[in-house]
Amino acid sequence: MNKPELLEKIATNADISKASAERVLKVVMETVIKTVSKGDNVQLVGFGTFKSGRRAARIGRNPQTGAEINIPAVKTIKFSSGKAFKDAVNKRK
């Protein structure tokens, strides 16, 4: 499913216009991004949790030359699915 298909589903199921569905989805995505960027978690019970993590700086190798390169530390994004989501995917009740 891509974004236009998701917007169509939201609009149909919530009985709202596609434009309204797009505004809602945009606000939700922006809010999750801003919150996780600050280092806070976004927990949606039954769906999952979005959180940030850190990957330490390390030394890697250029696969073509074998030369060592420094790979800087970065923030990562993690998503842990909730129990209801896992159960739905695995068809458990």
How many angstroms separate the CA atoms of 8 and 12, rounded?
Answer: 6
- Global confidence as pTM: 0.78
pLDDT confidence tier of residue 93, bands split at 50, 70 and 90? low
Question: What is the model's pLDDT at position 91?
Answer: 86
Question: What is the model's pLDDT at position 92?
Answer: 67
The closest of 74, 72, 90, 71 to 82, measured between CA atoms, is 90
How many angstroms separate the CA atoms of 19 and 12, rounded?
Answer: 12
pLDDT digits (tens, 9 = 90+) for 41-85: 999 999 999 999 999 999 999 999 999 999 999 999 999 999 999
